[in-house]
Structure 1
Amino acid sequence: MPTDLSTLRLPDGFTDLFTSRYVELDGLRLHAVTGGDGPPLLLVSGWPQTWYAWREVMPALAREHTVVAVDPRGAGLSDKPDDGYDAGTLATDLVALMSALGHDRFDVVGHDIGMWTGYALAADHPERARTLTVVDAIIPGLTPTPSFFSPAAVNQRLWHFGFNRLTDLNEKLVQGREHLYFGHQFATKAATPTTIPSYAVDVYVNAIVTDPRGLRASFAYYRALDETIAQNEHRKKTRLTLPVLALGGARYSGPLVAETMRLAADDVTEAILDDCGHYAAEEQPERFTEVLEDFLGRVGRHPTPGQGRSA
């Protein structure tokens, strides 16, 4: 995946607003794309994506926020060490990243696995997260575990959890077929098989293929699930008090996102985007931005947590 933003297909004027940069932490180098002005807003992508997942919403968000779209450990251009893929370590990485960028307190948006990381960040570092927005996922160790013999529709959505946790067979089966495997994720989780454009799928797949550590790292988040689940079973003993926006795509997770967060948080705003699958920021960027900005604006005007709301 190239470091030069000009080599990527991006919204008009994107490179005038944003800069691609590396941030050196304690033994870890993370890649982020930053720009804008205003309160800091951290965007955390999911599997198997990179910061590029946020490209369509970043220019609008940058009008009111200092946007930080990160490649977490193991993704995109960031380092891919052998371990540290549990949610707690990923969250600690991002707290250190924001400190290095000069942001002590910030809003967090996490999609997919980024939702796991966002929850861990809000729970483990409550002094750092002002708000938490979670996008179309469940949280292992918090969401009730599906039955082993789940209905076919559930299995179609969750089968990759078991496959990705395998120790090495998955890598042998996927290597050389990365476009088939990862392309299938986007084709079946979005509202339609072509909703996520082929050029974007190529960016995500190439980020994995071109780095010899990329495929292993992409499965490492799932191989660390035992640790993440144990952490979340402990985290849920203390409820979140910060404002939470739970956003689901009507054609994928829908109300399950808010149902999950109500198990852990007192102040949950629910939003469901019509005609949207798993990838809200790419499938419905204008509506996604509108809902997020409305939530952040209301929190700014009313900083004291209230009762759960619907958007």
Structure 2
Amino acid sequence: MTVTSVPGVRLRRVAVNGIGLNVATAGAGPAVLLLHGFPHTWWVWTEVIGPLARRHRVIAPDLRGFGDSDRPAGGYDAGTLAADAAALLEALDAGPAAVIGIDLGAPPAFLLAMRRPALVRRLVLMESRLGDLPGAEEFLSAGAPWWFGFHAEPGLAEAVLTGHEEAYIGWFLDRGTLGRGVRPDVRAEFVRAYTGGEALRAAFGPYRALTAGARQIREAVAGGRLTVPALTIGAHPVGRSLERQVRPHADRLTGRVIPDCGHIIPLDRPQALLSLLDPFLAGDDGLG
């Protein structure tokens, strides 16, 4: 293990599904698995890892292809990312865990809970869209976000963006915090993680696998229900769209929206997020 500049956090490398994941860990107690999105790494959780680690064993990987994890040619669909998460929990003997996913990390978190409910104690989904399930019409009223198509075209985005990574990643970080921005060290870490054609290629992998992920989600809800206690948390711009997608398929769901909060909830409004997570992870949520 190596020590990071984030107090209390250590890094380790864990082999899963034929690849190596860079994994940040902290604390002890019931496990909490944190799955980031774009343009993040495990660093998106830096404001909440410390408080969560007071009562929990926090496990925050860089997803395959992101940060300091391996960058294989494929396997970026939500189902494979869910299998990576399951294998990580098993390798660390950490299940059942509370699983929290944001943005691109939410679909694999959902599939993990659907496919391997014995590994998931509680589920939190934030600021994402679950494939093409009904419920996201308001969010998509003006069309899908422009970068979805840009990122999905093989080879295009990395060719255009190589050499301009800082400006591009910075745009998402500023927009995702409603202009408030993030700490300079966090910003620098994200830019480092996304610099270079290979880093960009891997980071766009989940966008190029969205069709496969949508099919996997449809198959999952057609074959069963979400039985673990679940919480959706919206902000700007997704709002309650994710809750509307999940609710018809969930036995025990609570939906919340954090006001005046950008898309990158853990960095923009960490205290508001913790005020929702703490009681839910403890089971004090009225869900049983």
**Same fold by TM-score greater than 0.5:** yes
Query: 1:81 is paired with a residue of what secondary structure?
Result: coil
Query: 1:247 is paired with a residue of what secondary structure?
Result: strand
Deviations 1:25-48 (A, max 9, x none): 342100111111110100111111
Structure 2 unmatched ranges of 5 or more = none
- Would you say 1:168 and 2:167 are equivalent positions? no
Query: 1:56 is paired with a residue of what secondary structure?
Result: helix
C-alpha contact (below 8 Å) 2:22/2:69 kept by paired residues: yes
| 1:213 aligned partner | 198
Whole-Å separation in 1 of the counterparts to 2:283 and 2:31: 16
| 2:101 aligned partner | 110
| 2:116 aligned partner | 125
Query: Using a 3 Å threshold, how does the CA distance of structure 1 residues 26 and 280 change in structure 2: closer, same or farther?
Result: closer
How far apart are residue 165 of structure 1 and its match? 0.5
Q: Which of 174, 178, 181 pairs up with 2:168?
A: 181
Whole-Å separation in 2 of the counterparts to 1:140 and 1:110: 14
C-alpha contact (below 8 Å) 2:231/2:255 kept by paired residues: yes
Whole-Å separation in 2 of the counterparts to 1:298 and 1:194: 32
Deviations 1:254-277 (A, max 9, x none): 222211221331211111112211
Whole-Å separation in 2 of the counterparts to 1:116 and 1:58: 21
Deviations 1:31-70 (A, max 9, x none): 1111111101001111110000001101110111000011
Query: 1:43 is paired with a residue of what secondary structure?
Result: strand
- Would you say 1:66 and 2:57 are equivalent positions? yes
Whole-Å separation in 2 of the counterparts to 1:202 and 1:35: 22
How far apart are residue 278 of structure 1 and its match? 0.4
1:13-92 equivalences in 2 (<5 Å): 14=7, 17-92=8-83
Query: 1:131 is paired with a residue of what secondary structure?
Result: strand
Query: Using a 3 Å threshold, how does the CA distance of structure 1 residues 160 and 146 change in structure 2: closer, same or farther?
Result: farther
- Would you say 1:260 and 2:245 are equivalent positions? yes
Whole-Å separation in 1 of the counterparts to 2:99 and 2:77: 18
Q: Could you tell me which amino acid in structure 1 is paired with residue 101 of structure 2?
A: G
Structure 1 unmatched ranges of 5 or more = 307-311
- Would you say 1:295 and 2:280 are equivalent positions? yes
Give the number of equivalent residue pairs: 285
Identity of aligned residues (%): 34
Whole-Å separation in 2 of the counterparts to 1:104 and 1:297: 16
Q: Could you tell me which amino acid in structure 2 is paired with residue 104 of structure 1?
A: G
* Structure 1 stretches of 4+ moved >3 Å: 143-147
Q: Could you tell me which amino acid in structure 1 is paired with residue 199 of structure 2?
A: G
| 1:138 aligned partner | 129
- Would you say 1:195 and 2:181 are equivalent positions? yes
Scaled by the length of structure 2, the TM-score of the pair is 0.92
Whole-Å separation in 1 of the counterparts to 2:184 and 2:135: 34
C-alpha contact (below 8 Å) 1:25/1:96 kept by paired residues: yes
Supply the RMSD in Å over aligned alpha carbons.
2.0
Query: Using a 3 Å threshold, how does the CA distance of structure 1 residues 294 and 243 change in structure 2: closer, same or farther?
Result: same
Whole-Å separation in 2 of the counterparts to 1:125 and 1:169: 36
How far apart are residue 198 of structure 1 and its match? 4.0
